[in-house]
Amino acid sequence: MRRFPLRTRLTLALVGAAVIPVLAFALLVLLLLDQSVGQRQEDALRALAGLAAGQAGGTMDEATARRLADATGTAVTIFDASGHVVAASSSAAATVPPPAGSGAGSSGAPAPSIARTGGQVVAYAPVGGTGGPYTVAVSQPAAAGPALLAPLLAVLTVTLLVAVFLGLVLSRSLLRPLTDLSGTLDRLQAGDLSARLPVESDDEVGRLAASHNRLADTIAARNRSLAVVSQALASLSPREGVGPLVSTAERAAVEAFGFTAVRVRLGPPDPAEGPQERVPGEAFEVRAPLDIGDERLGQLTGTLPPTRDWGEADQDLLRIFGIQLAAAIRNAELFGAAAELTELKNEFLRGVSHNLQTPLTSIRAFAGQLAEQIGDPRLGIIVEQSERLSRLVAQLLTVSKIEAGTLRPSVDVFAIGPLVQRAWDSLGRTAHPFQLHDEAAGWLAAADRDWVEQVIWALLDNALRYGGDGLIEVRVVGEEQASGPRVVTTVRDHGPGIAPADRERVFERFTRLVPGQGEGSGLGLSVARGLVETMGGGLWLADVDGNGAAFAFSLPAESIEES
């Protein structure tokens, strides 16, 4: 069954508490008045019956009955000894015979008796007379409700209306603090941490409002601490190293938790730094471990002023800060180790490249001279393979520079179309079908010319290796993009194409989608993308209709008019 709202139940309770006692009192008064009026009427009729018996005498007839009725102001009936009506003053007179024992007896005249019948009250008194004995009966209609019934009903009605009005007013007054509390809690739930309740009294409601305000203040303070902690953790960069990172974390902890001092100690646990018992009136320390899984990197210790409250929620937040700080420290350590390894690798690649380029240059030069003098085809193979090895060494060196961020382009403005044609001619595959669609008239690329030629050469070489004997198409267009004017070059072959799952893997280093096919090193596309991105462009695998694969790259551009 659905319950009434609290306000309705409270109003009904107040109205009931006010009306029920009044109603009970009124009913009691009505009962007492009814009994009192009935008793007075009976006493009066007894007296009138005695008066009528004293004035009766002589002949008992209707004239005597009317005379007695006029004297007593009641209806009079005269009964004979056998209970039959002898005379009656009117038709309204009682006709019920007297009860047994109401006639004259040997001991004298008994007191008049009373009977109620047919809505009348009748008093019987014995009387003598000619042909007697007789009984005189005086009767009146039974007294109706007391005269105070109407005023009592009016009082009850007014009382009920006043009780309902006061119940509504009092229930609203009593429920207003609860309504305010409910609205404030809704605001808090919606994220308004400034919502507070007015404290207007020192009773239970006032204490509840004060308790709510303290809770809201605590939540707001912890949210501010959480925001500061989140910002501090977001600012912790592993690139800074462990030392600067720890210093940043200590300053953030002071601001977030209100510490007067913070100390981060790295290393195994110190047995001397156990739990500290708080002494009232003195500053105290709180601690949080710096844990990574089951490994402890150190401990964070903060000193708080004596007046600072510190609860379980604060300790949990500090523990979360410690866990995040430990992860940042570990990342900084790993980043430093990775940076050292990267630097060692780059130094190795630079050393190997330098040490290989010199002998390779000598081998290629001497082999070329011998080939011209002797004409031995094996010398041509030596020249070709030394050139291939030289390109591989150059690619490795380029990769190391891209990773180290030391590669800087020498920007120039030039047309892409002629550069594509020159790169194709340098490949020496004049018999292979090739088409160049230069639609970038009026557009000049703003990039490093040598790098762009290396990228085009790598894409054309890739198309020759994996595109089969089909046509190779190159399209160069100029277009306005959101990032500015661009020249987009697309190299497409008509070979088997590249599976969707390999669209990004094709740009990974040392990746060859078809092992054993061709003599590539798996670095060409990776180096090409690195060079294009260093020049402010992008290289991607474009969508094609039908068979084949298409690689496209874009470069910043200028129009001929602007240049």
pLDDT tens, 306-339? 888 787 878 888 888 888 888 888 888 888 887 7
CB count in 10 Å sphere of residue 106: 4
Q: Is the pLDDT of residue 426 over 90?
A: no
Between 93 and 178, residue with greater pLDDT: 93
Task: Bin 534: left if φ > 0, else alpha if -120 < ψ < 50, else beta.
Answer: alpha
CATH number of 408-559: 3.30.565.10
Q: Which long-range contacts (CB under 8 A, 24 or more apart) does 343-347 make?
A: 343/404, 345/400, 346/400, 346/401, 346/403, 346/404
For residues 489 and 517, the answer to whether their CB atoms sit within 8 Å is no
For the chain, state the CA radius of gyration: 59
The confidence band for 538, taking pLDDT boundaries of 50, 70 and 90, is: very high
Weakest mean pLDDT among 111-115, 296-300, 493-497: 111-115
Share of the chain above pLDDT 90, in %: 12
Q: Is the pLDDT of residue 517 over 70?
A: no
Residue among 411, 409, 412, 414 nearest 560 (CA):
414
Residue 514 DSSP one-character state: S
Helix, strand or coil for residue 479? strand
pLDDT in tens, 40-59: 878 888 888 888 888 877 77
Task: Give pLDDT, residue 552.
Answer: 94
Best mean pLDDT range from 15-29, 469-483, 497-511: 469-483
Handedness of CA 161, 163, 165, 171 (dihedral sign): negative
Query: pTM (2 decimals)?
Result: 0.43
Task: Give pLDDT, residue 104.
Answer: 45
Q: How many residues does the chain have?
A: 563
Q: List, in sequence order, every beta strand (DSSP E) within 274-346.
A: 284-292, 295-304
State phi, psi for 98 to the nearest 5 degrees: -65, 150
Task: Give pLDDT, residue 296.
Answer: 86
Q: Is the pLDDT of residue 505 over 90?
A: no
Q: Is the pLDDT of residue 1 over 60?
A: no
Task: Give pLDDT, residue 7.
Answer: 60
Report how far residue 262's alpha carbon sits from residue 265's, in angstroms, rounded to the nearest whole number.
10
Q: Which long-range contacts (CB under 8 A, 24 or more apart) does 502-507 make?
A: 503/541, 506/541, 507/539
CATH class of the domain comprising 219-270+280-340: alpha beta
Share of the chain above pLDDT 70, in %: 76
Task: Give pLDDT, residue 40.
Answer: 81
The pairing of beta strand 120-127 with beta strand 75-79:
unpaired
Report how far residue 126's alpha carbon sits from residue 112's, in angstroms, rounded to the nearest whole number.
8
